[in-house]
Amino acid sequence: MMPKIIAVETTLPPYRISQDQAAQFAKNLFSSSYRDINRLLKVFQNGDIESRYFVKDLEWFSRSHTFEEKNDAFIENAVSLGSKAVQACIESQDKLNYDNIDVIITICTTGLATPSIEARIMNQLPFSENVKRIPIWGLGCAGGASGLSRAYEYCLAYPHANVIVLSIELCSLTFQHGDHSKSNLVGTSLFADGIACALICGDESNVADSNHRAYPSIVNTQSTLMKDSLDVMGWDIKNDGLYVVFSKDIPSIVKKWLGPNVSGFLEQNSLQTSDINHFVAHPGGKKVLEAYQEALDFTQDMTEISLRVLKKYGNMSSATILYVLKEFLGKEIASGQYGLATALGPGFSSELVLLRWE
């Protein structure tokens, strides 16, 4: 019994900002705090990001906003863009309609809403009122892979189930206009807004289309928490909202910690890294992708798709791995090949998902 990932659809926010535009914005804002601003701004060029998408234009970010204003903007855009992603995902499958959806798992770490976002979306789209709602908050960049893991477990328990994993991250709305720390400067060069919706179906679901193509099945998953690493990544929550915590040590942590973590997981499944044909990696940044290669002894071509997503969209926190996964779903991959999906998040933590195309 292996649940399958049938579809991933994404929605783009309305404002595309080039990295040159973002660098100029940061220079205007941060130059009064740093004499060596031009040296620090190299982070915008060295990260291999070419463009990103935001729900607001640069003029909006040039002014200070209250936590309430930013969170109201989060709810409004999360519902409208999340609805579009869900609609596209459901309409992509001939045998799927809103009544077929058993569970919505909503992943987010960049805004707050109670009732949660999927409840608000269910008031706009014709879902059954009996859909199970599982909102998950706080997993950061690891959240998209974690959502796939939780969907896998649900489909093991209920093989007829069709589960939606909806990831909504509007990282830009956490931007702190008055925070001139280097962490905020790095975050300004890296993070972006993204929305993605994945469909995972149990073995006895009849939704998978009839063209006999190979889909990635989820074979197994593993969640790992590194003890005493709370200061590596996350938020400081203050009166003005969410302040980014982003350690410069993340690439070195990946190099030392991820290799044994992955090797142990693969050994449990009678595999080794040389058996992995496809690497569905959350591109936390260029240095993180390079650290993946070193830690797992992967060639550069294994991270090519992740780097392409990073270049085009930046780091969209939990949604990013689903953008990468969508690229893999668009490829013709032979049945029997293995993939490994991995993402790292606050905690410090990792989420691993072993895939096999069938």
The residue among 33 and 167 whose pLDDT is bigger is 167
Same domain (yes/no): 152, 29: yes
Counting Cβ atoms within 10 Å, is residue 341 exposed (0-12), middle (13-18) or buried (19+)?
Answer: buried
As for how many domains the chain has, the answer is 2
Burial class (CB in 10 A: 0-12, 13-18, 19+), 217: buried
- Mean pLDDT for 319-342 is 96
Span 129-150, average pLDDT: 96
DSSP code of residue 174? G
Q: Which two tokens stand for residue 238?
A: 């203050």
pLDDT by residue (tens digit) across 291-310?
899 889 899 999 999 999 99
Domain boundary among 201, 224, 257: 201
- What residue type is 2 in one-letter code? M
pLDDT of residue 312: 97
Q: In this structure, what CATH number is given to the domain that contains residue 153? A: 3.40.47.10
| 189 shares a domain with 163 | yes
Domain hosting 52: range is: 4-201
pLDDT band at 325; cut points 50, 70, 90: very high
The verdict on residue 67 lying in a domain is yes
Among 175, 201, 227, the domain boundary falls at 201
pLDDT of residue 53: 98
Same domain assignment for residues 41 and 140: yes
| N residues, the chain | 358
| 3-state SS class at 335 | coil
Task: Please state, as a whole number, how many other Cβ atoms lie within 10 Å of the Cβ of residue 350.
Answer: 24
Q: Please report the pLDDT score of residue 237 as a whole number.
A: 85
The token duo for 171 is: 């990282």
Cα dihedral 205→107→22→328 (10° resolution):
-20
In a domain, 208, yes or no: no
Q: pLDDT higher for 108 or 95?
A: 108
Runs of H (alpha helix) within the chain: 19-30, 37-40, 42-46, 58-61, 67-91, 117-122, 143-157, 182-190, 250-268, 286-296, 304-313, 320-329
What pLDDT shows up at residue 122?
A: 97
Instruction: Please report the pLDDT score of residue 186 as a whole number.
Output: 84
Domain boundary among 133, 167, 201: 201
Q: β-strand 103-108 against 162-170: which pairing, if any?
A: parallel
The pLDDT mean for the chain works out to: 92
Quote the pLDDT of residue 210. Answer: 54
303 and 244 together in one domain: yes
Are residues 174 and 282 located together in one domain of the fold?
Answer: no
Please indicate, yes or no, whether residues 97 and 220 belong to a single structural domain of this protein. no
pLDDT tens figures, 200-257: 999 999 886 555 678 999 999 999 998 887 877 778 788 888 877 777 777 778 788 8
Asked if residue 238 and residue 177 are part of one domain, the reply reads no
Helix axes 320-329, 143-157, angle to 10 degrees: 60
d(CA 86, CA 10): 9
Please check whether residues 19 and 109 belong to one and the same domain: yes
CB-based burial of residue 135 (10 Å sphere; 0-12 exposed, 13-18 middle, 19+ buried)?
middle
What Cα–Cα distance (Å) separates residue 270 from each residue in 116, 219, 351, 356? Answer: 40, 12, 19, 13
Reported confidence tier of residue 80, pLDDT bands at 50, 70, 90: very high
Strand partners, 225: 349
Please check whether residue 210 lies inside any domain of the structure: no
pLDDT tens digits along 28-69: 888 778 888 888 888 888 888 999 999 999 999 999 999 999
Task: Say if residue 264 is in the same domain as residue 238.
Answer: yes
On whether both 125 and 175 belong to a single domain, the answer is yes
Residue 317 sits at the vertex; the CA angle it makes with 344 and 138, to the nearest 5 degrees, is: 75
Mean pLDDT of all residues in 338-346: 94
The encoded tokens of residue 299 equal 């060639």
pLDDT for position 323:
98
Q: How far apart are CA 279 and CA 284, in angstroms?
A: 14
Burial of 260 (0-12, 13-18, 19+ CB in 10 A): exposed
Q: What is the pLDDT of residues 272-297, one digit of tens each?
A: 999 999 999 999 888 889 989 988 98
- Answer whether residue 207 is part of any domain: no
> What's the rounded Cα separation, in Å, for the pair 162 and 18?
38
The answer to whether residue 209 is domain-embedded is no
90 and 234 in a common domain: no
Kindly state whether residues 153 and 107 are assigned to the same domain.
yes
| pLDDT for the residue 238 | 86
pLDDT computed for residue 236 by the predictor: 79
Per the structure block, which two tokens stand in for 356? 């096999």
- Residue 127 placed within a domain: yes
Strand 162-170 relative to strand 276-281, pairing: unpaired
- Does 59 map to a domain? yes
Q: How far apart are CA 322 and CA 200, in angstroms?
A: 12
Residue 320 within a domain: yes
Active-site residue set: 141
Which has more pLDDT, 124 or 251? 124
State the pLDDT at residue 313.
97
